[in-house]
Amino acid sequence: MTLECVICISKSYYIVEYECKHTVCISCGVRLLKLYENTDCPLCKQKSKIFCIKNLRSKIKENIREEDIVYQNEDCRNKCYNLLLHKCKKCHLILKNTYELRSHYRETHAFLLCFECTDNKKQFWFEHELYSVSTLRHHKNGKLNESGFKGHIYCPFCNIYLYDEISAKQHCNQFHLSCTICDILGYKNRYYNNFGDLELHFKNGHYCCTYQYCINIKAYAFPYKTELLEHLLKFHKQSTKLSDIQSYKSCTVPFFDPYYLSSQNNIKSYVLNNPAINFSTNEFASNITKKDLPNFLDRSKILEMKRKQSIRSSIIKRLIVKNQDEVIEIIEKIINKRLSVKDGCSDLKLLMNETILLKLLKELYFEDVQIEMTAYYKILEKQIKFPKFESKSVDTRTNSVRQPEKKVGFKIIELKSTKKK
């Protein structure tokens, strides 16, 4: 009698049974329990406190319990222990830990284990891949065409490899600095080695305020000329023009993108290395420039759209204290014509007073619906400045029931003199 595992689709007569009575093969069960430390059933996600490891071909029942695992007999326990050993694939020598296993492979068999794989992949001893010096380098760079593996992520600043993009992202957040200005402009996940490199990038790649106070508090870089101009006028009272602000130069400070391997490099290598694609590089580039791309693929249009959204967001946050996200959402719906101007302004009235609404509509640019918004602005301004007054006169004809008249009279009150003691 054998069981077909629902996870790996292999047949086995050694099984792991959960409290919910669902079963998997011993390899998948022990991997989940011991390596991943996951006690949830892979089928129904119910947590289990006791797990049974059984042999479907054996009738011997000893019920050996160790912590939260009950082994049917000694054979089941030995099978489980064998999976968790640090054993050599070549000579079956048992070592104490992964470090000794790496040393044994290197010194005895002239093979190498990948540090990143052994530290992060949840593998048993017989699943480790062995490499030579040259093949290990190709493995880390993803050049061995291993199924489902693109290569490890190399950090040029620390000269180390990270297991995957998630590990590289965590490493960058811990040891390096990201440029939030580039993030606003749409250039995601750009990390610089240290703050010195980041400052150099700010000065070469963005618009910077030169006042010492802003430099000291490290709040002097802006993504757009208009934001720097607003900062100079508002905080430093400097009389300047937009044309006076110099455009930034091309930045050559090196940066590291932990997601570059999966997002761009694979596409580039596929196009350049695929023998089925035969083209001249110059002709290919010229065809792309002549061809009209749709808006959602044109990078320049995407960046321009994000720039306009950022300007609108900064204006809204300057004028409004509460409900900023709701206001931004309504404004974007009006601009994208998902909400009419009249209905959108009615929703905005509920989030702010009419005076602030007038200022907001006057400062924002509504692109394709600007003409319609200007016409509505004039109507709204007239309603606010010259409100209609309701008449308070009472129609005497409707008030047919007459109130009883009060009679004028007097009342005699007897005053008694107080008795003397």
pLDDT tens track for 176-216: 999 988 888 888 888 999 999 998 998 888 888 888 888 88
Q: What is the pLDDT of residue 363?
A: 84
Q: Give the whole-angstrom CA distance, residue 225 versus residue 231.
A: 10
Type of residue numbered 51: F
Asked if pLDDT for residue 134 goes beyond 80, the answer is yes
Type of residue numbered 166: I
Tell whether pTM > 0.85: no
Average pLDDT for 388-400: 53
Asked if pLDDT for residue 52 goes beyond 90, the answer is yes
Average pLDDT for 253-267: 71
Q: What is the pLDDT of residue 225?
A: 86
Helices (H) and strands (E) in the chain, counts: 18, 15
Asked if pLDDT for residue 396 goes beyond 70, the answer is no
Q: Which two tokens mark 53?
A: 């490891």
Give the rounded distance of the alpha carbon of 360 from its chain centre: 30
Asked if pLDDT for residue 377 goes beyond 90, the answer is no
Q: Give the whole-angstrom CA distance, residue 190 versus residue 171.
A: 13
Q: In this prediction, what percent of the chain has a pLDDT beyond 90?
A: 26
Q: Give the whole-angstrom CA distance, residue 93 versus residue 77.
A: 20
Asked if pLDDT for residue 171 goes beyond 90, the answer is yes
